[in-house]
Structure 1
Amino acid sequence: MNKPVLETLDLIKFYKSCNPSKTLIVGHPEDEKYYIDFASVRGSDIIRELERTITLLSGNQPTCQLFTGHIGCGKSTELFRLKDKLERQGYHVVYFESSEDLDMGDVDISDILLAIARQVSENMEQANIKLKPGYFQKLFTEISEVLQTPIQLSAEAEVSIGIAKITAKTKDSPKLRSQLRQYLEPRTSTILESINKELLGRANIELKRRGKQGLVVIVDNLDRVDNSPKSWGRTQPEYLFVDRGEQLKKLNCHVVYTIPLTLMFSNDYGRLSSRFGVKPKVLPMVPVQVRSKKPTMEPNDYEPGMSLLQQMVLARAFPEISSQERLELVSNLFDTPETLNRLCRISGGHMRRLLMLLYSCLQQEDPPFSRKCLENVIQEYRDDLIRAITFDEWELLFKVVQNQRVTGEEECQTLLRSMFVFEYRDRDGHWFGINPVLAETKKYANWINCNYNSEFRIQNSEEKNSD
């Protein structure tokens, strides 16, 4: 007879582990135990594909890859998994969140290149690798003169310090930023050449001398670049990744960029893929339901996806024990197993939303969470989402539910970025389903009744008459 699992819930640790804003850093022992691998239900192991391109298919040549998905679907955690896998194979990986260096509402190609130069330079300094690129010392002097703003740098100042000071001077001043770009734009090719030769080239040589396989730079959060138009009409994502993609691709190391999901629905998607020579990798949601031929009010659970989401929740509370043992402790967290199922189902397989719902429950009461508490949290979430949907957007939403497809940038902007629909993948390819919380609204129920239940009644009547 198996002994019952005895595990005490540490409420403070559980509270911290459920923080929706915290990214799990795979490779760190403290975070590793909370990580659940969803590759088996997402349709493919995208991180393995990114890894193989760098380690097996590159032929020791620099590679450039693109990665995207819903904001909050777990991209950053998966990129940390990529970092960990590459480091275990001897690569030196520089990961950084571009949003810390850039103003996402106003980004230019020179901003991205300088951010990469700063992060790599700073990382090399921490590894005790002194690069001292001569061109940048001259560039900093000229920039100081152009901006008519003193930037105090010693002769021994590192590149990262110089770029950090320039960024600090211009980040909150559109006027200074505009002046800087006017100066840097005609020099972009020279800056790129200097980064490749004096910074990345030397870093690669020194890293390989130390026994490393090469340098990999992972630029996260570029998917958060605003979709706002530039003065000449092109949106920021199109300008950066399509019009200027050739320069982003030319860095002398392996690079992985996150890109806005809207580009997957752009008329320029073909040019984007051609420019980079690779197809962007899309991280879909964890499927919580099976694709159905017709929209319905009754969810048809996809058990493998639901099981892994249950483990994600339980691991936050009981990280030290096995997955099977955790299942025996559901009653420590929820009044019934169905309450846990309800939480996972209503999240739609969206990682951050699942944690946000769980976190909201924690703000209201201690575990075990009651069904009433969860329903209150879900109702608040539903009300917030409904408030944002216009009549035209409901019509667009119903069209997507009917076709299970999203087409064009407008639908992507309206439905995917607003999280009205989620993207999934199965054996038949990508498909789009309504956010489960919206599937419980009166508006959706009325639409189903008008468009599908009546059709079902007519079909039944015809079958009976034929009998």
Structure 2
Amino acid sequence: MEEKVLLEKFRQSYRDLELFPLIDWRKVEQFRVDFANHTIARLEQAVEDAPANGKLIFAGHRGCGKSTLLAKFSAQMMEQGYVVTLFSVADMIEMSDINHVNILYAITLTLLNKLQELKINISPDTEKSLREWFTTTQTETVTKDLKTEVGLGGDFFKLITAKLKNEATFREEIKKTYERKVSELAKKADEIAALIQAYTKKEVLVIIDDLDKLDLSLVEEIYKNNINSLFLPKFRIIYTIPIAVIRNNDLLATLQSVTPRVYLMAVCKFFKQGDSHKPDGVPKEELINLFLQILKKRIPEELMEPDTARQIVLKSGGVVRELVRIGRECCSQCLLLIRSEPQRTDIKINDEILQLAIKDLRNDFARPLGDKLYSILVTTYNHLTPPDAKSEEFLSLLHGLSVLEYENDDLWYDVHPIVADLLKRKKLIE
């Protein structure tokens, strides 16, 4: 294969691996692999069986495929007759500055956008009242400036969203305006949801993605101290949280006080408990093949050695994002090799390329680790359970994917395969 063709094929594969999670439905059709259908069925059952104001909490490891699943689930629920609004909180609010107030504000804003998307006819007075509400804050000068910007024309939703995302002063103003009266935010969201439901004769379902990507300190502030505020709106909402939260007893108790259960998207288990550590451990071929399908949708088979593709799958630990990350790093190594050795036409992802990719990823995992964390990792690897599943140190390892949680009849943990390689190199495990 000539250099330019080879370069373009690896470049395209690299780009296709960037398309994760799958949200755009044109890309979903191109790269879709049926995955976690049981989880979708459980979520559908939970929504259908819950009261009209029911709230669901959906947890899982970062990168386990929740966003792609939620996109598929939202389309399915629209077919079931719901008006669904799915949005990423990361697209609307600066991730380091998220709080319960601007989450509720973002919900209200996206519902207003849905109202406009559906071209729902509302009275001029109602439309004026809604715009007045969004452009009125506690500070007179801020209110005046907002009204001036809106009066200049343009897309109202994009204008307010851009301010919420990019302007810390605007987020602070929203927080000061509604921090002590979050019920007003909830009532406004209810008002807009009621307009949608009256016009469409369908119930509203809001799905908020990417809350699971927050730092754990922010998650505690939002979910432990302000969960009741998030549950004020009187329509169905699905919130996402990182899996580490439901391993914190205090936070879990808070969640269980307002919702009957937390729904979990489990990591794929390639091996039975403990078998991954055995030289003769036999993986579940149906799951291996599922992950191979995901990989081959993005990297043409002629660019990968079959045995290496299988190793990429096993090194992912059953986490889709890790599969994508390893595959992308392999493509990057091949692109570098093509540029440095342009005369070669036989370059493909083989064991040598995989080892170069793993080296860089292994170092990424190693940087934040210290003696105490290494000790926790060794104990977890040897016993498939940590010394203290509630400790902040362990929860940080779980949040950062150094440790993965699996669930059969029993709950158990294992070290990420790349981190296990790191422990072996340090001679901390055999």
> Identity percentage over the alignment?
21
Write the distance in 2 (CA, Å) between the matches of 1:74 and 1:294: 22
Write the distance in 1 (CA, Å) between the matches of 2:391 and 2:58: 18
Amino acid at match of 2:311: R
Match of 2:420 in 1: 439
Q: List runs of 5+ in structure 2 lacking aligned partners.
A: 1-5, 336-346
Contact 1:357 1:377 in 2 (8 A): yes
Write the distance in 2 (CA, Å) between the matches of 1:306 and 1:373: 21
Contact 1:265 1:412 in 2 (8 A): no
Structure 2 length normalisation: TM-score?
0.83
Contact 2:212 2:241 in 1 (8 A): yes
Secondary structure in structure 2 of the residue aligned to 1:73 = coil
Write the distance in 2 (CA, Å) between the matches of 1:314 and 1:39: 18
Offset, 1:415 = 1.2
Match of 2:237 in 1: 255
89-98 or 356-365: which moved more? 356-365
Q: Which runs of 4+ in 1 moved over 6 A?
A: 155-159
Amino acid at match of 1:408: K
Write the distance in 2 (CA, Å) between the matches of 1:181 and 1:420: 35
Q: What value does the CA root-mean-square deviation take over the aligned residues?
A: 3.1
Write the distance in 2 (CA, Å) between the matches of 1:19 and 1:195: 37
Write the distance in 2 (CA, Å) between the matches of 1:294 and 1:73: 19
Q: Of residues 88, 91, 96 in structure 2, which corresponds to 1:100?
A: 91
Q: Of residues 400, 412, 416 in structure 2, which corresponds to 1:418?
A: 400
Match of 1:203 in 2: 196
Structure 1 length normalisation: TM-score?
0.77
**2:322 maps to 1:353:** yes
Write the distance in 2 (CA, Å) between the matches of 1:219 and 1:253: 13
Amino acid at match of 1:15: S
How many residues are paired up? 406
- Could you say if the C-alpha distance between residues 431 and 17 of structure 1 is closer, same or farther in structure 2, counting changes exceeding 3 Å? farther
Contact 2:206 2:237 in 1 (8 A): yes
- Could you say if the C-alpha distance between residues 108 and 363 of structure 1 is closer, same or farther in structure 2, counting changes exceeding 3 Å? closer
Write the distance in 2 (CA, Å) between the matches of 1:288 and 1:445: 25
Q: Equivalences for 1:62-73 in 2 at 5 Å?
A: 62-73=53-64
Write the distance in 2 (CA, Å) between the matches of 1:30 and 1:9: 22
Write the distance in 1 (CA, Å) between the matches of 2:8 and 2:161: 41
**2:50 maps to 1:58:** yes
- Could you say if the C-alpha distance between residues 48 and 257 of structure 1 is closer, same or farther in structure 2, counting changes exceeding 3 Å? same
**2:5 maps to 1:36:** no
Amino acid at match of 2:111: V
**2:366 maps to 1:386:** yes
- Could you say if the C-alpha distance between residues 33 and 162 of structure 1 is closer, same or farther in structure 2, counting changes exceeding 3 Å? closer
Larger radius of gyration: 1
Contact 1:262 1:409 in 2 (8 A): no
Q: Of residues 237, 250, 253 in structure 2, which corresponds to 1:271?
A: 253
Offset, 1:338 = 1.6
Write the distance in 2 (CA, Å) between the matches of 1:387 and 1:297: 29
- Could you say if the C-alpha distance between residues 411 and 403 of structure 1 is closer, same or farther in structure 2, counting changes exceeding 3 Å? farther
Offset, 1:317 = 4.2
Write the distance in 2 (CA, Å) between the matches of 1:220 and 1:126: 20
Write the distance in 2 (CA, Å) between the matches of 1:69 and 1:352: 12
Amino acid at match of 1:187: K
Offset, 1:21 = 4.9
Contact 2:102 2:174 in 1 (8 A): no
Match of 1:224 in 2: 213
Match of 2:187 in 1: 193
Q: List runs of 5+ in structure 1 lacking aligned partners.
A: 1-7, 229-235, 319-329, 450-467
Contact 2:270 2:318 in 1 (8 A): yes
Write the distance in 2 (CA, Å) between the matches of 1:413 and 1:103: 24
Secondary structure in structure 1 of the residue aligned to 2:145 = coil
